[in-house]
């Protein structure tokens, strides 16, 4: 209705994969900037410069209670990327790496 009122058209072109949608919903909980603890974020960028499992990288960056929110926020910002996001839910063995073009 809003599109019609603005004189625009709207067409839905497919439906997101269920697993991808679940992963994006999970990440959306960490989209607020308060989740980004800068010292941990910098360390996470270093750790994930080479691909490694999510939990191993979180532990390598510091205390996981502090690093996981920052890790998920960086995934939300697409500074980090996870392999197989459309195939499996995030888990300890999900491979995470620094996104291409991210050189902070």
Q: Domain of 62: which CATH number?
A: 1.10.10.10
Q: Is residue 83 part of a domain?
A: yes
Residue-number span of the structural domain to which 72 is assigned: 35-104
Domain tally, the chain: 1
Length of the chain in terms of residues written? 104
The pLDDT tens digits of the residues spanning 77-87 come to 999 999 988 88
Q: Is residue 70 part of a domain?
A: yes
The pTM assigned to this predicted structure is 0.81
pLDDT of 103 higher than 70? no
pLDDT score for 102: 57
Q: Is residue 28 part of a domain?
A: no
pLDDT of 91 higher than 70? yes
CB atoms within 10 A of CB 90: 19
The gap between the terminal CA atoms of the chain, to the nearest Å, is 42
Q: Is residue 88 part of a domain?
A: yes
pLDDT score for 62: 95
Q: Is residue 102 part of a domain?
A: yes
CA distance 54 to 88: 13
For the residues 4-17, what does the mean pLDDT come to? 86
pLDDT band at 92 (very low <50, low <70, confident <90, very high): very high
Q: Is residue 91 part of a domain?
A: yes
Q: In terms of C-beta density within 10 A (0-12 exposed, 13-18 middle, 19 or more buried), how is residue 74 classed?
A: buried
Q: Is residue 44 part of a domain?
A: yes
At CA 72, angle to CA 65 and CA 62, rounded to 5? Answer: 35
Look over the chain and give the mean of its residue pLDDT values, rounded to a whole number.
91
pLDDT score for 101: 63
Q: Is residue 46 part of a domain?
A: yes
């Amino acid at each position: 209705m809003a599109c019609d009122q603005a004189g625009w058209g709207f067409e839905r072109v497919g439906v997101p994969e269920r697993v991808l949608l679940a992963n994006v919903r999970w990440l959306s909980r960490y989209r607020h900037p308060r989740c980004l603890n800068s010292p941990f974020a910098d360390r996470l960028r270093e750790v994930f410069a080479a691909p490694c499992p999510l939990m191993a990288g979180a532990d390598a960056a510091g205390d996981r209670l502090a690093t996981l929110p920052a890790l998920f926020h960086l995934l939300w910002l697409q500074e980090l990327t996870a392999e197989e996001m459309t195939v499996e839910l995030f888990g300890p063995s999900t491979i995470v790496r620094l996104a291409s073009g991210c050189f902070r």
